[in-house]
Amino acid sequence: MHAVRIEQPGSAQGLRLVEVEDPVPGPGEIVVDVHATALNRADWLQIIGRYPVPPGTPADLPGMEYAGTVRSVGPRTFRFQPGDRVMGLVPGAAFAEQLVTHEREAVPVPEPVSLTDAAAIPEAFFTAFDALVLQGLLGAGERVLVHAVASGVGTAAAQLIHAAGATTLGTGRNEAKLERAAELVPFTPVTVARDVPRFAERVLELTSGAGVDLVLDLVGGRYLAESLACLAPRGRMMLVGTVDGVKSELDLRLALGKRAQITGTVLRARPLEEKMALARAVERHVLPLFARGAYRPVVDRVLPVDQVAEAFEHLAADRNVGKIVLAWSRR
């Protein structure tokens, strides 16, 4: 089979489509014919050598999410059969014609959703649901600040927040991108300057001084202090990404006075059992709303796999609203 390999780390031009061995399923595992996959910032960081992969994951084969059909199943596999439409997250090697995964990490693709669109669901909605609902305890009537709201996770988060009866304020550095995203998902835009990120004053103005109850931070770095400044008393901050950097200077007196909760979270490095539990929660609580039309994946563009370098250059330039999908054109 074919797969995308990082042959020269450091840029998208170092990616090559190569022949690799077909995967073989073990007990409880399924082999999936991948119809489409989607790009993530973690993939890009892996390509440029700034993201160590989990133990046992090939460092030269990127890709974290997929949608496709079951090709074959291993011993003691009960949930899926050949031909079933599935999607999910894997530690790596999703940019391939086939992949192997445990059946309890996979979830069925909702009937109204195409396999191409389904590729944009796993990382975005698994991450947003886990951070906002399971850990952030999102409640009706709350105000939520989502950084990088035009991203895949950001657009998924805005939909989850709206469905929960809460309100989204979403930040971004590109006003045109914010306007495009606001046409697709419900949120109040907050533009952030590229040189010195300042948004706390504007958020407090929009909330009549009350601040926000929950922050979904996909950016990190200098955003953390500003988020704390506009957090409501007993507010929660979920730190998911570090695009702006891994260090931040905080006024701890402010954190103490507000009795703030700051929680860091990742998905990729979690134990298999935790990933299975999240997949089951998403299957039960999130997927039915796709079937009802309450949620939908936001796809910026679909490119064939042989244009993977172009796709990552578009991602690195931060021009996308929602997810960039790679499709295997042979199907």
Task: Find the mean pLDDT for residues 126-152.
Answer: 98
Domain with CATH 3.40.50.720 in the chain: 124-264
The pLDDT score that the predictor gives to residue 135 is 98
CATH homologous superfamily of 124-264:
NAD(P)-binding Rossmann-like Domain (3.40.50.720)
- Report the alpha-carbon distance of residue 103 to residue 311 in Å, rounded: 29
The pLDDT score that the predictor gives to residue 21 is 95
Alpha-carbon 311 to chain mean position = 17
The pLDDT score that the predictor gives to residue 194 is 86
CA-based R_g, the chain, Å: 20
The pLDDT score that the predictor gives to residue 329 is 72
Count Cβ atoms within 10 A of the Cβ of residue 21 and give its class: 0-12 exposed, 13-18 middle, 19 or more buried.
exposed
- Identify the helix (H) or strand (E) that includes residue 57: none
Place of tokens 């960039």: 324
- Report the alpha-carbon distance of residue 124 to residue 139 in Å, rounded: 20
Q: Which of 24-38, 41-55, 204-218 has the lowest mean pLDDT?
A: 41-55
Task: Find the mean pLDDT for residues 79-90.
Answer: 97
Per-residue pLDDT for 263 more than 60? yes
- Identify the helix (H) or strand (E) that includes residue 144: strand 143-146
- Identify the helix (H) or strand (E) that includes residue 30: strand 29-38
Residue 214's pLDDT band, with cuts at 50, 70 and 90, is: very high
Per-residue pLDDT for 217 more than 60? yes
Of 68, 31, 110, 84, the C-alpha closest to 285 is: 110
Over residues 10-31, the pLDDT tens digits come to: 999 999 999 999 999 999 999 9
Class of the 2-121+269-327 domain?
alpha beta
Q: Rounded to two decimals, what is the model's pTM?
A: 0.96
Using CA atoms of 152, 267, 48, 323 in order, give the dihedral in degrees to the nearest 10: -10
DSSP per-residue letters across 63-110: --EEEEEEEEE-TT--S--TT-EEEEE-SS--SBSEEEEETTTEEEPP
Counting residues of the chain whose pLDDT is more than 90, the rounded percentage is 95
Over residues 307-329, the pLDDT tens digits come to: 999 999 999 999 999 999 999 97
Per-residue pLDDT for 52 more than 90? no
The pLDDT score that the predictor gives to residue 110 is 96
- Report the alpha-carbon distance of residue 9 to residue 56 in Å, rounded: 19
The pLDDT score that the predictor gives to residue 203 is 98
- Report the alpha-carbon distance of residue 160 to residue 298 in Å, rounded: 13
Domain with CATH 3.90.180.10 in the chain: 2-121+269-327
